[in-house]
Amino acid sequence: MRIVSYQHAGDSRIGVEAGGYIVDLNRAYATYRRVGSGTANPYHEANAVVQTEVLQFLRLGQASKDAAYAALDAVLEWGVDSEECVRDGVGVPRAGARLLPPIPQPGKVICVARNYRAHAEEAGRPISDIPILFARFPSTLIATGDTIVRPRVSRELDWEGELAVIIGASARGISRAEAMSIVAGYSLFNDVTVRDYQFRVSQYTAGKNFQSSGPFGPALVTADEIEDPHDITLRTKLNGEVVQQGNTGDMIFDIPFIIEHITEFISLEPGDVIATGTPAGVGFTREPPRFLMPGDVVSVDAEQLGTLVNPVVEEVDT
């Protein structure tokens, strides 16, 4: 499934994109139970089985996922514009909905620095023996289509296209052998960075946490849809020009290693996000350096995951 978090008529909900519609998973399950089984109170059952927001959906685990698949199959067979689905508001026109980050408010966003050898080399930085981690604040995240804001205090705004891993189950001290069992799915991430703020101190926090600097999306693609997350080609484009291209198979530390390392010191919970690092091709290493400008459009894409697109605007006084 390609699960999206979306906003429509003031409500934030989850669904699956299907043609020109978003199939609302909670309403789809209620309709599936009402039509298929004659359930007397399908919405009460749906609210218990297939929640309306993504964190609760993930916490309910495989049972919720199985129910959502059954409902989705039924809806696609009937047609999103069928009488049953129209009556229950199952299909929301894509044009009338606003996509949110796949996890709108994750508990943790943990990023991995220098996880591609070529990127470490282009930056003139050493290869670490263990993953170099830093945190992003969830409040910095934006969805596909939202604007990246170039801050007034800097002109060194840079791109970093990455694979995002979304956690689906709680774990502490999990082994590499079991680590993939807690992965709910994958998405795209653009770890937009203010370089002068990043490099003028030894800690990455400021340079990685400017407001509206964390594009994330467009969807949570469930793990069962991805044959091999270590064979995904990532591309970053600036105004249509490819500026980064790399394969996740080139990561120094693979996903199981990263998860094992993180859970040595902290629990991972459903909805936590791990941004796994960026390939070579960032702007500050170029001759001359190249940075994001107002009016630019930057995108990150992968065939299995879709495209994350964001325009760049100048910060304005408020």
Set out the domains of the chain in order of their start, with CATH numbers: 2-99 (2.30.30.230), 109-314 (3.90.850.10)
List the one residue out of 215, 95, 236 whose CA is nearest residue 145.
215
Instruction: Measure the CA dihedral 54/56/61/63, to 10°.
Output: -100
Compute the distance between CA of residue 193 and CA of residue 196 in angstroms, rounded to an integer.
Answer: 9
List the one residue out of 266, 297, 72, 96 whose CA is nearest residue 170.
266
Instruction: Measure the CA dihedral 211/217/220/223, to 10°.
Output: -110
- DSSP, collapsed to helix, strand or coil, labels residue 163 as strand
- DSSP, collapsed to helix, strand or coil, labels residue 199 as helix
pTM of the model: 0.96
What confidence tens digit (pLDDT) does each residue in 32-73 have? 999 887 777 888 889 999 999 999 999 999 999 999 999 999
What are the E-state strand segments in the chain? 2-8, 11-18, 21-24, 91-93, 98-99, 109-113, 132-136, 141-142, 148-150, 157-158, 161-167, 183-190, 193-194, 214-222, 233-238, 241-247, 273-275, 297-302, 306-314
What is the residue-level pLDDT of the chain in tens, covering all 318 positions?
A: 999 999 988 888 999 998 889 999 999 999 999 988 777 788 888 999 999 999 999 999 999 999 999 999 999 999 998 888 888 889 999 888 999 999 999 999 999 999 999 899 898 888 899 999 999 999 999 999 999 999 999 999 999 999 999 999 999 999 999 999 999 999 999 999 999 999 998 889 999 999 999 999 999 999 999 999 999 999 999 999 999 999 999 999 999 999 999 999 999 999 999 999 999 999 999 999 999 999 999 999 999 999 999 999 999 876
